[in-house]
Amino acid sequence: MTPMQAADVEAFVPLATRFNHVDEVIAFLTELGTSPMTEPGLVELDHALQCAAELKAIRPDDLALQVAGLVHDICHGRCHIRDHDRVGAAAVRPVFGDRVANLVALHVDAKRYLVVADENYRARLSAVSLKTLELQGGTMDAAEIAAFEAHPDAQDACLLRKADEAAKEPGRDVPGLDAWIDTLRHVAAMRP
Ligand SMILES: [Fe+2]
Protein backbone atom coordinates (compact mmCIF):
# COMPACT_ATOMS: atom_id res chain seq x y z
CA MET A 1 0.00 0.00 0.00
CA THR A 2 1.15 3.53 -0.64
CA PRO A 3 0.71 6.41 1.83
CA MET A 4 -2.51 8.37 1.52
CA GLN A 5 -2.47 11.26 -0.93
CA ALA A 6 -3.11 14.79 0.32
CA ALA A 7 -6.73 14.88 -0.85
CA ASP A 8 -7.41 11.55 0.86
CA VAL A 9 -5.92 12.91 4.07
CA GLU A 10 -8.18 15.97 3.97
CA ALA A 11 -11.19 13.68 3.53
CA PHE A 12 -10.00 11.46 6.36
CA VAL A 13 -9.47 14.19 8.92
CA PRO A 14 -13.14 14.59 9.99
CA LEU A 15 -13.08 10.91 10.91
CA ALA A 16 -10.13 11.53 13.18
CA THR A 17 -10.05 15.02 14.66
CA ARG A 18 -10.18 18.54 13.36
CA PHE A 19 -9.88 21.29 15.93
CA ASN A 20 -11.64 24.62 15.63
CA HIS A 21 -10.63 26.24 18.93
CA VAL A 22 -7.63 26.04 21.22
CA ASP A 23 -9.86 24.80 24.06
CA GLU A 24 -10.60 21.69 22.00
CA VAL A 25 -6.87 21.05 21.63
CA ILE A 26 -6.34 21.49 25.37
CA ALA A 27 -9.17 19.07 26.14
CA PHE A 28 -7.76 16.53 23.69
CA LEU A 29 -4.24 16.81 25.11
CA THR A 30 -5.73 16.26 28.56
CA GLU A 31 -7.27 13.00 27.31
CA LEU A 32 -3.85 11.88 26.11
CA GLY A 33 -2.84 11.78 29.76
CA THR A 34 -4.57 8.40 29.99
CA SER A 35 -3.63 7.12 26.54
CA PRO A 36 -0.74 4.60 26.50
CA MET A 37 1.99 5.40 24.00
CA THR A 38 3.59 2.91 21.63
CA GLU A 39 6.87 3.55 23.50
CA PRO A 40 7.02 1.49 26.72
CA GLY A 41 6.29 3.16 30.07
CA LEU A 42 4.78 6.38 28.72
CA VAL A 43 1.37 7.85 28.02
CA GLU A 44 1.00 10.02 24.94
CA LEU A 45 0.87 13.22 27.00
CA ASP A 46 4.23 12.39 28.64
CA HIS A 47 5.83 12.26 25.20
CA ALA A 48 4.21 15.53 24.12
CA LEU A 49 5.31 17.34 27.30
CA GLN A 50 8.88 16.01 27.10
CA CYS A 51 9.15 17.03 23.45
CA ALA A 52 7.88 20.54 24.17
CA ALA A 53 10.25 20.87 27.13
CA GLU A 54 13.22 19.85 24.94
CA LEU A 55 12.32 22.51 22.38
CA LYS A 56 11.81 25.17 25.03
CA ALA A 57 15.34 24.48 26.30
CA ILE A 58 16.77 24.78 22.77
CA ARG A 59 14.64 27.69 21.49
CA PRO A 60 13.14 29.47 24.50
CA ASP A 61 11.66 32.29 22.40
CA ASP A 62 10.15 30.14 19.65
CA LEU A 63 6.71 29.47 21.08
CA ALA A 64 5.30 28.09 17.81
CA LEU A 65 8.06 25.49 17.64
CA GLN A 66 7.35 24.49 21.24
CA VAL A 67 3.62 24.17 20.51
CA ALA A 68 4.44 22.08 17.43
CA GLY A 69 6.39 19.78 19.72
CA LEU A 70 3.41 19.55 22.05
CA VAL A 71 0.94 18.64 19.30
CA HIS A 72 3.13 16.80 16.76
CA ASP A 73 1.68 13.37 17.59
CA ILE A 74 -1.82 14.55 18.44
CA CYS A 75 -3.38 12.17 15.88
CA HIS A 76 -0.94 9.34 16.54
CA GLY A 77 -3.53 7.16 18.23
CA ARG A 78 -6.31 8.01 15.78
CA CYS A 79 -4.85 7.04 12.44
CA HIS A 80 -2.22 4.89 10.77
CA ILE A 81 1.41 5.48 11.69
CA ARG A 82 2.10 6.33 8.02
CA ASP A 83 -0.32 9.23 7.99
CA HIS A 84 -0.40 10.72 11.49
CA ASP A 85 1.92 13.56 10.43
CA ARG A 86 -0.37 14.93 7.71
CA VAL A 87 -3.61 14.13 9.51
CA GLY A 88 -2.26 15.87 12.62
CA ALA A 89 -1.16 18.88 10.58
CA ALA A 90 -4.59 19.27 9.01
CA ALA A 91 -6.21 18.90 12.43
CA VAL A 92 -4.21 21.69 14.10
CA ARG A 93 -3.88 24.11 11.16
CA PRO A 94 -7.21 25.90 11.85
CA VAL A 95 -6.14 26.66 15.44
CA PHE A 96 -2.39 27.32 15.25
CA GLY A 97 -1.81 28.31 11.62
CA ASP A 98 0.62 27.27 8.94
CA ARG A 99 3.99 27.20 10.72
CA VAL A 100 2.87 24.88 13.53
CA ALA A 101 0.95 22.73 11.04
CA ASN A 102 3.89 22.55 8.63
CA LEU A 103 6.25 21.46 11.39
CA VAL A 104 3.80 18.72 12.40
CA ALA A 105 3.47 17.69 8.74
CA LEU A 106 7.25 17.45 8.32
CA HIS A 107 8.16 15.56 11.48
CA VAL A 108 8.10 12.11 9.86
CA ASP A 109 9.89 13.32 6.73
CA ALA A 110 12.50 14.85 9.05
CA LYS A 111 13.16 11.39 10.49
CA ARG A 112 13.48 9.90 6.99
CA TYR A 113 15.87 12.78 6.13
CA LEU A 114 18.00 12.69 9.27
CA VAL A 115 18.81 8.99 9.02
CA VAL A 116 20.62 9.92 5.79
CA ALA A 117 21.89 13.42 6.56
CA ASP A 118 23.05 13.07 10.19
CA GLU A 119 25.35 10.15 10.88
CA ASN A 120 24.66 10.32 14.62
CA TYR A 121 20.88 10.36 14.35
CA ARG A 122 20.01 6.71 13.68
CA ALA A 123 21.56 5.67 16.99
CA ARG A 124 19.06 7.92 18.79
CA LEU A 125 16.04 6.11 17.37
CA SER A 126 14.10 3.85 19.71
CA ALA A 127 13.34 0.29 18.69
CA VAL A 128 9.74 1.32 17.94
CA SER A 129 10.87 4.29 15.86
CA LEU A 130 13.29 2.15 13.85
CA LYS A 131 10.47 -0.27 13.10
CA THR A 132 8.03 2.44 12.01
CA LEU A 133 10.70 4.05 9.80
CA GLU A 134 10.14 1.32 7.23
CA LEU A 135 6.35 1.74 7.39
CA GLN A 136 6.86 5.46 6.84
CA GLY A 137 8.82 5.03 3.61
CA GLY A 138 12.33 4.29 4.89
CA THR A 139 15.29 6.55 4.19
CA MET A 140 14.89 9.37 1.66
CA ASP A 141 16.32 9.14 -1.82
CA ALA A 142 18.20 12.04 -3.45
CA ALA A 143 15.09 13.64 -4.95
CA GLU A 144 13.23 13.47 -1.64
CA ILE A 145 16.23 14.98 0.18
CA ALA A 146 16.34 17.91 -2.25
CA ALA A 147 12.59 18.52 -1.88
CA PHE A 148 12.80 18.34 1.92
CA GLU A 149 15.76 20.71 2.15
CA ALA A 150 13.93 23.24 -0.02
CA HIS A 151 11.12 23.56 2.51
CA PRO A 152 11.54 26.74 4.61
CA ASP A 153 10.61 24.83 7.80
CA ALA A 154 12.93 21.88 7.14
CA GLN A 155 15.65 22.75 9.65
CA ASP A 156 13.17 23.53 12.42
CA ALA A 157 11.40 20.25 11.63
CA CYS A 158 14.74 18.52 12.21
CA LEU A 159 15.02 20.23 15.60
CA LEU A 160 11.53 19.01 16.44
CA ARG A 161 12.42 15.51 15.28
CA LYS A 162 15.53 15.33 17.46
CA ALA A 163 13.46 16.55 20.42
CA ASP A 164 10.94 13.84 19.54
CA GLU A 165 13.58 11.13 19.90
CA ALA A 166 14.72 12.60 23.23
CA ALA A 167 11.15 12.64 24.59
CA LYS A 168 10.64 8.97 25.34
CA GLU A 169 11.99 8.67 28.86
CA PRO A 170 9.66 7.00 31.38
CA GLY A 171 9.25 8.96 34.60
CA ARG A 172 11.06 12.08 33.42
CA ASP A 173 10.01 15.14 35.42
CA VAL A 174 8.92 17.96 33.08
CA PRO A 175 6.32 20.74 33.45
CA GLY A 176 2.75 19.52 33.09
CA LEU A 177 0.06 20.60 30.67
CA ASP A 178 -1.03 23.44 32.99
CA ALA A 179 2.33 25.11 32.33
CA TRP A 180 1.56 25.22 28.60
CA ILE A 181 -1.97 26.65 28.59
CA ASP A 182 -0.93 30.30 28.23
CA THR A 183 1.54 29.41 25.45
CA LEU A 184 -1.08 27.40 23.56
CA ARG A 185 -3.55 30.30 23.81
CA HIS A 186 -0.89 32.82 22.80
CA VAL A 187 0.20 30.93 19.67
CA ALA A 188 -3.44 30.37 18.69
CA ALA A 189 -4.19 34.08 19.12
CA MET A 190 -1.13 35.13 17.10
CA ARG A 191 -1.69 32.87 14.08
CA PRO A 192 -1.65 34.83 10.81
FE1 LIG B 1 6.69 11.90 18.57
In a domain, residue 39? The reply is yes
Q: What is the pLDDT of residue 170?
A: 95
Report the CATH number that the domain containing residue 26 is assigned in CATH: 1.10.3210.10
Q: How far is the CA of 43 from the centre of ligand 1 (A)?
A: 12
CA–CA distance, 105 with 122 (Å, rounded to integer): 20
Q: What is the pLDDT of residue 3?
A: 45
Q: What is the pLDDT of residue 81?
A: 65
In a domain, residue 177? The reply is no
Instruction: Examine the pLDDT at 171 and tell me if it is beyond 50.
Output: yes
pTM summary value = 0.89
* Domain membership of residue 94 as a residue range: 6-168
Q: Which residue has the higher pLDDT, 191 or 53?
A: 53
In a domain, residue 122? The reply is yes
Q: How far is the CA of 71 from the centre of ligand 1 (A)?
A: 9
User: What is residue 43's three-state secondary structure?
Assistant: strand
Q: How far is the CA of 59 from the centre of ligand 1 (A)?
A: 18
In a domain, residue 89? The reply is yes
Q: What is the mean pLDDT of residues 19-28?
A: 95
